[in-house]
A and B are shown apart, each in its own frame.
Chain A
Amino acid sequence: MSKTLFDKVWDSHVVHRIKNGPDVLFIDRHMVHEVTSPVAFLGLKNRNAKVLFPDKTFATADHNTPTINQHLPVKDPLSANQLKALEENSKLHGISYWGLGHKKNGIVHVIGPEYGITQPGATIVCGDSHTSTHGAFGAIAFGIGTSEVEMVLSTQCIMQPKPKKMRINIDGKLNKGVTPKDVALFIISKLTTSGATGYFVEYSGNVFTEMSMEGRMTVCNLSIEMGARGGMIAPDKKTFDYIKNKEFTPKGDYWTKAMKYWLTLKSDKNAIFDKELDFDGNKIEPMITYGTNPGMGMSISNGIPKTINQNSGAKTYLKSLEYMNFNEGESMLGKKIDFVFLGSCTNGRIEDFRAFTEMVKGKKKSPNVTAWLVPGSRKVEQAIKEEGLLSILEEAGFELREPGCSACLAMNDDKIPAGKYALSTSNRNFEGRQGPGSRTLLASPLVAAAAAITGSVTDPRTLY
């Protein structure tokens, strides 16, 4: 029978099928961070249980860490306590822990691929909804809650009903200034934040096959923002080249054997999806959000949609615009920006820093803008320095911070003040997401760079 890529990976990981219930799915890789794990470890302690497969479990500190002066003790006692808990729990259970200051430290979804922990055909979970990122390698990767973190720590399995399957196909040639982030924001604006709930998405079409691995990660990362549990892209030569010779990828004969399996990882010709959508890549423009969920996005040169044209309730829509202090019909171009945030598991990889740097090269940061440039990992930070990007950024008036999730969720001190506008390359523009009362506009690193230079929302195509 013809199978989709998703079916192939899922079915090969089912340990046990519960009648009229969920499947018991074996998990190959479990990523753990400081915020969603302590209560899970506490649960293990209360059960007198151990981590079943410590070598399939990887821990890092990212959500609740400072992005300056990481060599100093963490000031906030609650954050320090959470980091200490993860360090102790990792030690107790024999899990490798890449904590603050470790040379492999970084955002969980950035470091997984960097060290080859992320592999095609694997099942990967983490107590974080953006685990969908790893789907870029043809893995089934999705976010889980803390009870499920405890479940995976103690049994290496998770109970999940098999989701439905959706394929999103985009062919065409992306226009200049259009990045993978724009493609993702475009899809979400069409589907809304609940349009793919209950589905696992496969992205296909030449727009995705021509994308770099970093770009594919950005797209898969944002799958959750349309409600999908995860998204995946069939692995190809680009995927294999990216992971070859990484620390945790198979070597020698094991590589050859793995390749044999990985080459089978694509949807069969006649495979059936529960839903198929097609979009035209030629028509995508640089995108920006104007509201308080990632589905409220549009082409940067459009006007804010009228309430009357909304599917969601008028009351909710107007509440959102009121929070942003925007009016329907208005253009976003020229709107004043107070902060620019480049970073996160969505756009904190080297390619994002290259794009940003290219745009600001030879120009100066607007004096009205506070810019936070936060690499996704130590490795990204190192590459920024080695490739000479740092000196270009500094010349243009920017500073580089240390790795972490930072202002994406503002658990640490990187908070946007109430009422201020932040143009962010992150993934969520919810009310208060980047600090109580903060207002977020989501966009690509190029749009972020253009705003950092001009101090207002600017179409990056006008700056080339």
Chain B
Amino acid sequence: MPESVILTQEDVRRAIVRIAHEVVENNRGCRDLVFVGMQTRGVPLARRLAAAVADFEHEEVPVGTLDIGLYRDDVPARGVTVEIKPSEIPTNIADKRVVLVDDVLYTGRSIRAALDALIDYGRPERIQLAVLVDRGHRELPIRADYVGKNIPTSPRDEVEVRFQEIDGSEEVVLISREEE
């Protein structure tokens, strides 16, 4: 399958730094800010955003992790069960500004599930969405507030975000499949 790199390690780093700046600008500082990374690859992304913010604002933004396995709409209707990991939300998110972080925004269904999950932890003041890649093909009325890169894709393509700590390399690749 042909694989093409759409974001190199440097591109990913720059996108993260830019998003971090946008988040701080939009929220006028870091007060009440919380990053929540969605399992699996939203987690390193959220950590990096927090590290970037700490770098230029000298403030620690708490980072949580969220597993949406229990909120998916296809168990048991479609008999899809996934492995679930514990979620960890470090602070009470009621009245906080939560930035939900995921690697790829596609149909929007994971984000729908994540919103349900987050709201079960409390009533945040705002929830914003940051993604590294928006590949289109939404099936729900959901959009991202911060986007690393918009990539037009075919539904047959696959977009893979790779992070050092999970995948051993750092890049975003587009894997296209031939027409059958």
Q: Do A and B bind each other?
A: no
Q: Which residues of B line the A interface, CB within 8 A?
A: none
Q: Which residues of A line the B interface, CB within 8 A?
A: none
